[in-house]
Chain A
Amino acid sequence: MSGIDPIGQMPGLIQQQTAQNGVREPDGETFAQTLTQAVARTEGLQDKAKQAVQAFNTGESQSLHDTMVAMEKADISLRFMTQVRNKAVDAYKQIMRMQV
């Protein structure tokens, strides 16, 4: 009967298994990082549009089309961000509605 391992050794084993199968930090970018980058990009385009409008209104820039294109880029980018946000909120709601 000496072949049975003492139960005291078990917790270490359990811990090891959780470390292998449980939630861990992902290696690459996290979703939050990706989202932050996307927001930063949108913000950058918004800022460019703002600068373009300002430059046009102060007469610094004469190019109407560049201003319009900058505004259009900012618009598309914002719409895209809104869609990303909708998706994220949808996913959250799906999980919250889950039966436990």
Chain B
Amino acid sequence: MNILSTMNIGSSALSAQSTRLNAISSNLANVNTTETPEGGPYRKKSVVFRSAPAFENELTTREEIQGVRVDRIISDDSDPKRVYDPSHPDAGENGYVEMPNINVVEEMTDMMTAARAYEANVTSIKSSQRMAMKALEIGR
């Protein structure tokens, strides 16, 4: 059923956007993290999306119409911010600490776009549901 395919596509987008939101909240949580298992300060994470078929054996839907999935999560390798704080345990010899390369304002705007994209996909699922309900009204 095509209506259910719309829901699958929407659902894949919701999963993708919530993974993106996970990455953003991870970035915000680690805005002051100077130590990581791989060494050095935390590095900004971002997600890469890839289109993907979102149907389980749906024959009625065209192949070109695809859902989305998170392909990979990448680390931003740009230089860490250097902050002068000699009292910090991770400070170098010259008193500078390497802080994560995260811009809080950027993360907040990313968070808003992720939330909006999520809302948009919820709206598409809702409208497919409304369409299904309208179709059922034919029989009434």
Contact = CB atoms under 8 A, between A and B. Distances in A.
Chain B binds chain A: yes
Interface of A: 63, 65-66, 69, 72-73, 76, 79-80, 83, 86-87
B24 interface: no
Contact of A86 (B11, B14, B139): B139
Contacts of A79: 133, 136
B129 A72 contact: yes
Nearest to B129: A72
B18 interface: yes
Best-buried of A69, A79, A80, A86 by chain B (most CB within 10 Å): A69
Contact of B15 (A66, A73, A76, A80): A66
A60 B7 CA distance: 22
Given A65-B18, A72-B125, A83 B7 contact: no
Contacts of A66: 11, 14-15
B4 interface: yes
Nearest to A65: B14
B10 interface: yes
